[in-house]
Amino acid sequence: MEKLKREFFEGNTLNVAKELLGKILIHRIAGVELAGRIVEAEAYIGAVDKAAHSYNNRRTARTEIMFGPAGYAYIYLIYGMYYCMNVVTGKAGEASAVLIRALEPFYGMQQMAFRRYTKPLEELTKNQRIHLTNGPGKLCAALGIDKNCYGEDLLGERLFICREISEAPFEIETSKRINIDYAEEARDFLWRFYIKNNAYVSRK
């Protein structure tokens, strides 16, 4: 496996969102590596996107990292309980990012089971196994991604993304983004991308 370089993240945000599909997200924590294959992602482009936290150049302590160079982690707390992970994209000053919405566990599934259900993997139902990482909050809980990862350089050694040497082919589906009904015209943007027929995609 080969770690993605800075240039990967500097590209057009919609392309980066699509190209992240099939890549392996890895978090090194507590002496182990937890990894999942990205199967769903959404683009957020501050300049034109009322759904983006950075819309209208809303530059605060929270969104600051989105205004910087590409290839850093933007982590935020949602509903007071769950963390979500984004990859900052584009040139410095552009305030765009890609939300990682779902993973297919790649390795470290045993630890993921403990982190999500405080149980060994063998005791999970088939349904619980799917629910380990099939949503943006769930995947962060499963991989131990939280506010400590805010601003993490994805070219570093703690949180990074790799390309498999030989990656299985897949088809990409496109749709409107999830839960942004407040975003006026932006709610209809087809900026969600996911791997067709993958069991870990958060919604049909």
Partner DNA sequence: CGTGCGATCGTG
Partner DNA sequence: ACGATCGCACGA
Residues within the interface to DNA (CB under 7 A):
42, 44, 51-54, 58, 60-63, 74, 77-82, 84, 86, 97, 99, 116, 131, 135-139, 177-180, 182, 202
Instruction: Specify the residue for token string 């990967």.
Output: 8
Phi, psi for 158 (deg, rounded to 5) = -100, -40
Q: Which run of H or of E encompasses 13? A: helix 13-20
Q: Shortest distance, CB of residue 187 to DNA, whole angstroms?
A: 10
Residue closer to DNA (CB basis): 2 or 123: 123
CA distance 197 to 173: 9
Residue closer to DNA (CB basis): 148 or 164: 148
Residue closer to DNA (CB basis): 5 or 57: 57
Q: Are 70 and 10 in contact (CB under 8 A)?
A: yes
Q: Shortest distance, CB of residue 2 to DNA, whole angstroms?
A: 26
Residue closer to DNA (CB basis): 2 or 37: 37
Q: Shortest distance, CB of residue 144 to DNA, whole angstroms?
A: 15
Residue closer to DNA (CB basis): 90 or 164: 90
Instruction: Please name the residues in contact with 10: beta carbons below 8 A apart, sequence gap of 6 or more.
Output: 69, 70, 71, 89, 90, 91
Neighbouring-strand partners of residue 100: 41
* Rounded to 5°, angle at Cα 99 from 138 and 10: 145
